[in-house]
Amino acid sequence: MKYKMLVLDIDGTLTNSNKEITPATRQALYALQERGGRIAVASGRPTAGTKAAAEALQLAKFHNFVLSFNGAKITDCGSGETVYEQTLPPTVIPEIFRAAIGYGTGLISYEGEEVIAATPIDPYMELEAHINGLLIRRVPDFDNYITFPVNKCLMTGAPEYLAEVERRLQKQFGERLSIYRSEPYFLEFMPPNVDKAKSLEKLLEQLSISREETVCCGDGFNDISMIEYAGLGVAMANAQAPVRARADYITASNDEDGIVRVVEKFFGE
């Protein structure tokens, strides 16, 4: 095979509009791994939120990988080991918390199998917990509660208001953090210089696979970095227009088994 690694976003790419991996997609990706192809799932989701997708694709059986938190953490599904990780500087957690209180937004982070809420639980937080299949819990004194490594925090709020908050906080934090919206109502706070492409580069180095041997598929703005980095960047037909503009190839939508088409076209025997 010309290409050795297939990297897949989850929501809107690997899964259909019902957040399901179809039997056809599952079978195509299992067969690809049986033939020796490598697969990595790259998602903005927390690691626990990628568990169902990893199990459906049997990534553990083939020692394949999950890039979670938008690339801030790489996990070997076979061993369960973390092979790469970036975390937020502990000193910024109280600042992010104060900003959420000051702007009246929601704020969450993640602990194990739970979403932990710094502020009263709102519908956006509940949506995030539901998407990832995690429980949600309000914690008191959030800024002092966080004594463990955190890969990201997530602010929630009405889209138009959150856009203004985003602009202000990008100025406040400057280069200390990477701040962007993954959805109109989700504002992500990530370690600086973290994205899917930079994380993927670390993984490929360990596997001795070149970027030219890699295909990356996605639909969202946070997929652009890896789509541009890959030897072949693929956008789903349902992708945002700027994402499609950056891609080398546009496959069928996530509701039309677009990933199956990519496997058949670019990973043939």
Per residue in 184-206, pLDDT tens?
Answer: 899 999 999 899 999 999 999 99
Is the pLDDT at 182 greater than 90? The verdict is: no
Q: What is the mean pLDDT of residues 58-78?
A: 96
Which tokens go with 82? 């973390």
pTM here? 0.91
Q: CB–CB of 88/151 below 8 Å?
A: yes
Which tokens go with 49? 């939120």
Is the pLDDT at 222 greater than 90? The verdict is: no
Q: What's residue 149's pLDDT?
A: 94
Q: CB–CB of 1/32 below 8 Å?
A: no
pLDDT category at 104 given cuts 50, 70, 90 is: very high
For residues 106 and 183, the model is more confident at: 106
For residues 185 and 1, the model is more confident at: 185
List the single range of 67-76, 151-160, 173-182 with lowest mean pLDDT: 173-182
Chain mean position to CA 166: 19
Q: What is the mean pLDDT of residues 175-184?
A: 89
pLDDT category at 269 given cuts 50, 70, 90 is: low
Is the pLDDT at 183 greater than 90? The verdict is: no
Cα dihedral 237, 238, 240, 241 in deg (nearest 10): 40
What is the CB neighbour count within 10 angstroms for residue 104? Answer: 10
Residue ranges of domains in the chain, CATH in brackets? 5-86+194-266 (3.40.50.1000), 92-190 (3.30.1240.10)
DSSP state for residue 206 in the 8-state scheme: H
Q: Look-up: residue for tokens 């502020």?
A: 119
Q: What's residue 47's pLDDT?
A: 96
Query: How far apart, in whole angstroms, are the C-alpha atoms of residue 104 and residue 110?
Result: 20
